[in-house]
């Protein structure tokens, strides 16, 4: 939070996680004693775009942070993630360092790092489009559970980029490149890049490889075949699911708004990558 800000804080948690409300209330009391106005939201489905806040503090894992970003809609505020989940790669601090994080927040010592967001919608055979959903991490188009292999075509405008046959396709932002895409063999991108990564899932073609593209006007993914089913699924940030019929398309377009991530600076990404994933690590001799 910039120095001199009015310190209106929105504290976001998940009431389903044991003890969360009491812990967040404890920090709200501490912040109130330092002149902050705090509002607590524990319902994970409550919209956050209309809340009066200078900054959002999310207590939870990566899913909680992704959900908060979507719920802020086009009214993104500087957002600090405190990890109470398992991995917490997107969050800036572990829960045991909450006091340090809040001290740095109030002192204006955190760095605001904009991250690309996207709109995802489905275009049906009749040309109609579903209501767009705002996302931050990735969109996974995959087969139904027992539907056999599916075939997909990726387009940029009228130009076909590639055809994929297998279990599906992950389209990830640079920020999302360290999630499901990386687990499926995709590359790691620095999170400030304006790019998309296309990573095939269990491709039937050995020549199919992950593809990194500048975001430009986004991409479209057409459902060509779905095996035994009449539809495929698209999952947005692992939280919102859309059913897509054969011949339908998933459309990703870059959003004008940016997620306003609060962290310790650009070098912290690589420190966390090494600490949590052992990225590019090697045994050193004595």
* Catalytic machinery residues: 62
Four-residue CA torsion sign, 81, 83, 84, 88 = positive
Residues 6 or more apart whose CB falls under 8 angstroms from that of 246 comprise 223, 224, 225, 226, 230, 231
Question: Residue 69 CA to chain centroid, in angstroms?
Answer: 8
Q: In 3-state terms, what secondary structure has residue 57?
A: strand
Residue 205, token pair as written in the block: 């073609």
CA distances, 278 to each of 175, 192, 226, 270, 273 (Å): 18, 21, 37, 10, 7
Phi, psi of 264 (to 5 degrees): -100, 10
3-class secondary structure, 268: helix
Structure-token pair, residue 206:
């050995």
DSSP structural state of residue 66: H
Inter-helix orientation angle 20-32/98-106, to 10°: 40
**Could you tell me which residues are beta bridge partners of residue 129?**
123
Radius of gyration over alpha carbons of the chain, in Å?
Answer: 20
Q: In this structure, what token pair is assigned to residue 34?
A: 């330092």
Which residue has tokens 């459309």? 251
**Residues 6 or more apart from 147 whose CB is under 8 A from it?**
226, 227, 228, 229, 232
């Amino acid at each position: 939070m910039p120095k001199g800000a009015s310190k209106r804080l929105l504290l976001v948690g998940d009431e389903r996680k044991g003890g969360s409300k009491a812990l967040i209330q404890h920090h709200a009391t501490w912040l109130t004693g330092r002149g902050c106005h705090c509002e607590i939201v524990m319902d994970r489905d409550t919209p956050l775009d209309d809340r009066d806040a200078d900054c959002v503090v999310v207590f939870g894992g990566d899913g909680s942070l992704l959900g908060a970003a979507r719920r802020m809609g086009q009214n993104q505020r500087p957002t600090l993630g405190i990890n109470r989940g398992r991995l917490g790669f997107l969050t800036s601090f572990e829960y045991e360092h909450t006091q340090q994080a809040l001290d740095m927040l109030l002192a204006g010592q955190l760095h605001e790092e904009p991250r690309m967001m996207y709109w995802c919608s489905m275009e049906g055979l009749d040309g109609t489009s579903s209501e767009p959903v705002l996302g931050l991490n990735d969109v996974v188009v995959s087969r139904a559970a027992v539907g056999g292999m599916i075939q997909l075509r990726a387009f940029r405008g009228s130009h076909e980029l590639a055809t994929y046959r297998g279990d599906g396709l992950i389209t990830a932002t640079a920020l999302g490149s360290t999630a499901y895409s990386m687990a499926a063999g995709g590359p790691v991108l620095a999170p400030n890049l304006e790019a998309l990564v296309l990573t095939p899932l269990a491709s039937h073609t050995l020549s199919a490889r992950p593809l990194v593209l500048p975001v430009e006007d986004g991409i479209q993914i057409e459902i060509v075949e779905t095996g035994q089913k009449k539809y495929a699924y698209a999952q947005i940030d692992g939280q919102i699911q859309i059913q897509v019929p054969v011949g339908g398309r998933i459309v990703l377009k870059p959003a004008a708004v940016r997620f306003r991530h609060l962290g310790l600076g650009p070098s912290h990404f690589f420190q966390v990558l090494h600490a949590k994933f052992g990225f590019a690590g090697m045994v050193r001799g004595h």
